Amino acid sequence: MRKSTLRRAVALTAFALASFAALAAQVDVSGVKLDDAIDVQGSKLQLNGAGVRYKAVFKVYAAGLYLGRKAATPEEVLAAPGAKRVSITMLRDIDANELGKLFTRGVEDNSPKNEMSQLIPGLLRMSGIFSEQKQLRTGENFTIDWMPGTGTVISVKGVPQGEPIKEQAFFNALVRIWLGPSPADWKLKDALLGKG
């Protein structure tokens, strides 16, 4: 009788510790849970940083940047080898077409002028993806993945949208929306670089 009680206590303690470890492996960003580590098509990535995009005083979305290893500068992020992910979870309902336009403007504001002509096909595809969505609601998520050998894959609510965009310059241009010289939100830039 005593041994079974002891075994049960040990089992419950082990379960509680395992549950705690699982909880500890997430970061909470304004109610959005982001895993510390993820697997993207066989590549193990870790959360480099996460934060909130504000527009005036309003929270728009929570963002997380995943890399193969930690990076502290935009240059390190762009130069990092292997798979990468930007995860965006909406904190308010937003017109998806409007968000696509804001992203396009973010690319224009942060990309070298001599790169813009090669980015146009990818920007048109991205705009099409967002305009098809109509609206992104609070809690809905989309990801932007860079997969070496495949390209940039944009997934909305877990569903890949169209063919990958092959050029790495396009993924880098999207990352500059948040990490470029004129980022969407300076505090978010610092947070994604692990300084927030």
User: pLDDT tens for residues 48-77?
Assistant: 999 999 988 899 999 999 999 999 999 999
Mean pLDDT value across residues 28-42: 94
3-state SS assignment for residue 13 = helix
State residue 10's pLDDT score: 57
Nearest alpha carbon to residue 106 among 193, 188, 189, 174: 174
| Residue-wise pLDDT tens digits, 140-156 | 999 999 999 999 999 99
For 111, phi then psi, to 5°, come to -110, 145
**Using only C-alpha atoms, what is the Rg of the chain?**
19
Please give the model's pTM, rounded to 2 decimal places: 0.85
Which residue's entry shows tokens 């096909």? Answer: 121
Q: 146: left (phi > 0), else alpha (psi -120 to 50), else beta?
A: beta
Check if the beta carbon of residue 74 is closer than 8 Å to that of residue 48: no
Helices (H), 33-167: 74-79, 96-110, 116-133
Mean pLDDT value across residues 84-111: 93
Mean pLDDT value across residues 111-122: 90
pLDDT cut 90: percent of the chain above it: 71
Q: Which residue has the higher pLDDT, 12 or 31?
A: 31
Cα distance between residue 153 and residue 145, in whole Å: 5
3-state SS assignment for residue 135 = strand
Residue 159 token pair: 């569903």
HSE-CB at 83 with a 13 A cutoff on CA atoms is: 19
Instruction: Give the β-pairing of 26-29 and 32-35.
Output: antiparallel
Q: Calculate the average pLDDT of the chain.
A: 89
Q: Which domains are present in the chain?
A: 26-192 (3.50.70.10)
For 53, phi then psi, to 5°, come to -90, 120
State residue 75's pLDDT score: 96
pLDDT at 4 over 80: no
State residue 22's pLDDT score: 45
- 131 pLDDT band, cuts 50/70/90, is confident
3-state SS assignment for residue 97 = helix
State residue 20's pLDDT score: 46
State residue 115's pLDDT score: 87
